[in-house]
Amino acid sequence: MSKIQELIIDYLDNNQNGEKYRKIIKEIQTCDTIWSAFSPITKNHFVDYVQGRPTAFIFSEKNYCEQFCRHMKESGMTVGIAECAKDSRLQMLADYHRSGFECVIIDNGKRYIVMELTDLINIPDYSDKPIENRPVINPDLVCSADRFFQCLENKSVSPDKELNLLVDTYHARFLIPVTGKPEGNSVEIPGLERNDGVKVVPFFTDINEFRKFDSSNKYHIMTAAFEQINDLCSNGETVVINPLGFNFTIVKDTCEGILKAKDAVPENYKESRAVVFTPEKVPKILIDGVCEIMDKIPEVVGGYIKGMRNTSGEKLLIIIDCGDTDEERTKEIVSTVKNQGSEFEEGTGVEYIAANTGIGQTAMAGANPFFQRVSVNFEETEEISFEAICDEE
């Protein structure tokens, strides 16, 4: 049994806490070898959605990954194995970010945990820089394209997957190879000839994909947008995004579909996406106070806490599980906990949500309850037991 698997078992079975979690993180970052699920269809890491979030799969032993591949084959999905040595670990995790992953599942099929990618790697924030000074990287497009073409292979593409691919293509920035002198505006884009004889114009989502095409630095690099793709296709050209990756072919009809898709979706549809993570420190007074409030509301069966980070900053999420309680009563309970819990926040940003909401389900994934109501059989009574996962301030 791998050391990572031993640490996961210890973490899950014996008082989950931040120190045990950090040991798992350290071992993932520094162990000699790990294995990642890989898609030969897209020539990139295999992506699946867990609780609505794009998720990567890594394994501490090769045979765990092989079992996962066999399981996926039974469902019609082709999945391969990529081996990652210690000296390539940082590169692999950075590539997860480039590919749009938000979560990572460790040892799926065994005792496993779901981790935030941000727990494993520090992701740079370029939001305060002018767009022309930001590196060209398109995690949304890479993720939606990888997912689309994986599902296309086993004929499970749904309208939402196609819509995501088209809209992400419209909003993306691209790298293109050019010959000539960019400063003199006298350049040409080199074409590629496919096996069927069709000549195509290559566009790339990021420098990783570009270097697959130009590993010897033969070409200059310029940036482009969908507008340039549309112009080329309107003139009868065929454009291919990441020809050595997911290989998305675009012609004039495709451009028309992209324009229709973008009109159906708000321009800022992804800017407000939040990253949910496990907070390292939670005020004890907040946990104790909220537990006391939940204790007095019989419909509340559990309470969870996570952190949430978006463009407006960070806050704590308190997720309230009301079991089978109807929607109106659940709203009343959340409002009650919010109103009464505010006196314990002490300046900490807190948001209260129901467990049966979309963000609630996402945030609860892999979370340990700090409050849990336990039913017992004797004398038809109920006991409350709870454990605060928090640090003294």
Tell me which DSSP letter residue 31 carries: S
pLDDT score recorded for residue 381: 38
Helices (H), the chain: 3-13, 18-30, 62-74, 89-98, 117-120, 139-153, 159-171, 207-213, 226-234, 252-263, 284-295, 327-341, 358-364
Question: How many whole angstroms separate alpha carbon 388 and alpha carbon 368?
Answer: 10
Q: What is the pLDDT of residues 243-264, one digit of tens each?
A: 999 999 999 999 999 998 887 6
Residue 202 lies in a domain: yes
- From 120, 155, 187, give the residue that closes a domain: 120
Residue 246 lies in a domain: yes
> Looking at the structure, do residues 218 and 315 belong to the same domain, yes or no?
no
> Looking at the structure, do residues 54 and 177 belong to the same domain, yes or no?
no
Range of the domain at 233: 131-263
Residue 80 lies in a domain: yes
Residue 231 lies in a domain: yes
pLDDT score recorded for residue 358: 57
pLDDT score recorded for residue 383: 39
Name the percent of the chain lying above pLDDT 70: 87
Pairwise pLDDT comparison (27 vs 15), residue with the higher score: 27
- From 237, 263, 289, give the residue that closes a domain: 263
Look at the chain and report how many structural domains it folds into. Answer: 3
> Looking at the structure, do residues 160 and 100 belong to the same domain, yes or no?
no
pLDDT score recorded for residue 269: 52
Q: What is the pLDDT of residues 211-243, one digit of tens each?
A: 999 999 999 999 999 999 999 999 999 999 999
> Looking at the structure, do residues 251 and 279 belong to the same domain, yes or no?
no
CATH number at residue 32: 3.40.1350.90
Residue 158 lies in a domain: yes
Pairwise pLDDT comparison (291 vs 274), residue with the higher score: 291
Does residue 105 have a pLDDT over 60? Answer: yes
pLDDT score recorded for residue 271: 47
Question: How many whole angstroms separate alpha carbon 376 and alpha carbon 45?
Answer: 46
pLDDT score recorded for residue 393: 37
CATH number at residue 280: 3.30.70.1350
Given the structure tokens 């030969």, which residue do they identify?
40
Residue 303 lies in a domain: yes
> Looking at the structure, do residues 279 and 259 belong to the same domain, yes or no?
no
Number of Cα atoms under 13 Å in the Cβ half of residue 271: 7
Residue 270 lies in a domain: no
From 16-30, 180-194, 212-226, 257-271, the region with the lowest mean pLDDT = 257-271
> Looking at the structure, do residues 157 and 251 belong to the same domain, yes or no?
yes
Q: What is the pLDDT of residues 315-326, one digit of tens each?
A: 888 999 998 899
> Looking at the structure, do residues 255 and 299 belong to the same domain, yes or no?
no
Q: What is the pLDDT of residues 359-370, one digit of tens each?
A: 676 667 667 789
> Looking at the structure, do residues 257 and 286 belong to the same domain, yes or no?
no
> Looking at the structure, do residues 115 and 136 belong to the same domain, yes or no?
no
pLDDT score recorded for residue 134: 86
Query: Average model confidence (pLDDT) for the chain?
Result: 86
- From 211, 229, 263, give the residue that closes a domain: 263
- 3-state SS class at 302: strand
> Looking at the structure, do residues 155 and 204 belong to the same domain, yes or no?
yes
Residue 206 φ/ψ, nearest 5 degrees: -170, 175
CB 244 within 8 Å of CB 43: yes
Residue 304 lies in a domain: yes
Does residue 112 have a pLDDT over 80? Answer: yes
Range picked from 18-22, 252-256, 282-286 for highest mean pLDDT: 252-256
> Looking at the structure, do residues 255 and 164 belong to the same domain, yes or no?
yes
Pull the structure tokens for residue 277: 């993570």
Question: How many whole angstroms separate alpha carbon 306 and alpha carbon 309?
Answer: 10
Pairwise pLDDT comparison (353 vs 31), residue with the higher score: 31
> Looking at the structure, do residues 214 and 332 belong to the same domain, yes or no?
no
